[in-house]
Chains A and B, each alone.
Chain A
Amino acid sequence: MCGATQLWELEMGRYLTTMRLFWSNAFGVLLEYQFNFLIEFFAMLASLIGSIFILSLFFVEGQSLGGWSWEAALVVQGFYTLLDGVTNTWLRPNLGAIVNYVREGTLDFVLLKPIDSQFWVSVRTLAPTGIPEIALGIVLILWAASKAGAEFSFGVLFVTSMMLLVSCIILYSLWFLIAATTIWFVKTWNATEVLRALLAAGRFPVVAYPPILRIIFTVLLPIAFLTTVPAEVILGQSATYTLLLGWLLALIAFFLSRIFWNFALSFYTSASS
């Protein structure tokens, strides 16, 4: 038993060291080109200004949205902004690069390493472009929630963080499922863009949509769990079963992504030399 624990700790250490080196290298690559770094920095600023502009459209009039007060709807917008930042920082740079690995045949190197290939392709790099959006999202969530009368007890903040984790896992799994189809179709950029457009629906509480879309966004594409549910949690409006359902969905989505990746790899033919 002790041996198994030690082995597990060693394995965890190996994965954590690898991830730390991946990210320090990503930072190294970013700083390697000073001029490009400046451009990245301005792109980051531009993206922040863009996000603030979109938010400002909400400030026009304090109307309610599908029964949600304007402030409460703004919390949903805050979660959307945060997840958009996570997408730009983590998902897009990593999962978007799977196409290149497959096209150039460098996925071979990944598959020959004694490390989980899904882990490798999922955390290989980080892009700082989305970090201001993440910060903006957090500020917006806290500000709008307090305006909406939320109480920030430790329990509420903890459960909110957990639900944010759920939304990140669901978003990652959906994105990864599409990215894994690269093994067959090689080019799947358009598919991920369609997904991104669909996720934009998460800007608003699901109750703001017609009933049919509401069902689709809750059951088929769990967009409700990405933004609306975490917002409900911080506003103290969520039922326990929703939280459990969220976790269940996240676990199912994650395991589906793993099964699908391994299934896809059995079709991998590697690029010709």
Chain B
Amino acid sequence: MVIEVQGLSKTYRIADKEPGLLGTFNHFFNRKTYDLKAVNEVSFVIKQGEIVGFLGANGAGKTTTLKMLCGLIYPSAGFISVAGYLPQRRQVPFLKQITLVMGQKQQLIWDLPPLDSLMVNAAVYGIREPEARNRITELADMLEIGEELTRPVRKLSLGQRMKAELLAALLHRPTVLFLDEPTLGLDVNAQAKVRSFLAEYNRRTGATILLTSHYMTDITTLCSRVLLIHQGQLFHDGGLDALTERLSPYRQVRLELNKLASKSDFLGYGKLESLNGRSVCLLVERKNLTSIVSRLLSNFDIFDFEVTDPPIDELIGSLFQKGTL
């Protein structure tokens, strides 16, 4: 196992302050605090070479968990092992094996071309200059980035900048990648390029990737497995299909009829979601799917039909909104 997490918890002490001058005085002389469990008893393992999606609403505990896995934050309780090391010790061999990319923060020097920052990183990781240049060329080819490396970072587009950030984060050939919203704010094309790069990097190097993203396409394209964290607790660990099944016991059955039909015709066939002329959409319980589809086929004059899962992002979105199943 590359990553092993057992009973991981993180509690933050939060100060509670009433508004106004009186509140300020009370806050100064008699500070009231409460404990907030950002991560609560989370356990999972990740094998080498896996790309795992890490899902959760804002404040669910994703970033806190990622930072504990990197060794940036000390856990309040529980055990973590990454590549055989205890992350919070931040030992040099551990740091040489991991990387963290944060979509909303940058390590490149704003006023200089990315190449200058890359050479600093090479020196820090003890990579000699000729070797560093080879690696930069290789990664730049994969990322389809070239002359941008000699242009000041501030003159680059967001997409180009993220590619350069990825290059800086991967120069030391890490085997464990922690990616916190690496496609944040990028346009559709740039997102697709980052995704295909990550898939290629994983294929070539066998690196393990733990990825958070609010864009479901990132997850559906890259990850065969997802961890869903909700209110600090691990809600799901498994395939996307299994998650969909858990979040929605229904499947969508879309029909295109040859003749017009009315609402009453569909009583006893599940929940009618929409009826527009000849187009019908039904929500059918998974356990009854086969029998209902065969009844529909024999009782209606059907031109076309399709059985799909409800969109995963809608399902997860409604989970986040409701706060519970």
Contact = CB atoms under 8 A, between A and B. Distances in A.
Contact of B124 (A18, A270, A272, A273): A18
A93 interface: no
B35 interface: no
B313 interface: no
B311 interface: no
B302 interface: no
A112 interface: yes
B180 interface: yes
B107 interface: yes
Interface string B117-149: 101110111100000000000000000000000
A273 B120 CA distance: 25
B72 A14 contact: no
A69 interface: no
Classify chain A: how many residues form its interface, as a range.
20 to 34
Given A21-B123, A29-B112, A273-B63, A112 B70 contact: yes
A256 interface: no
Contacts, number: 79
Given A10-B126, A32-B152, A108-B100, A25 B72 contact: no
A33 B110 CA distance: 12
A272 B14 CA distance: 14
Given A14-B126, A21-B119, A29-B109, A114 B92 contact: yes
Contacts of B116: 21, 25, 28
Interface string B94-108: 011011101011110
Classify chain B: how many residues form its interface, as a range.
35 or more
Nearest to A25: B116
B12 A269 contact: yes
B305 interface: no
A183 to B, nearest CB: 12
Contacts of A112: 70-72, 90, 95, 98-100
Given A21-B119, A28-B116, A29-B109, A114 B63 contact: no
Contacts of A106: 105-107
Given A108-B67, A266-B74, 13 more contacts: A14-B123, A21-B116, A25-B120, A32-B111, A106-B106, A106-B107, A108-B100, A109-B107, A111-B72, A112-B98, A269-B12, A269-B73, A273-B180
13 contacts: A21-B116, A25-B117, A29-B112, A32-B111, A106-B107, A109-B100, A112-B99, A268-B73, A270-B67, A270-B72, A270-B73, A273-B104, A273-B180
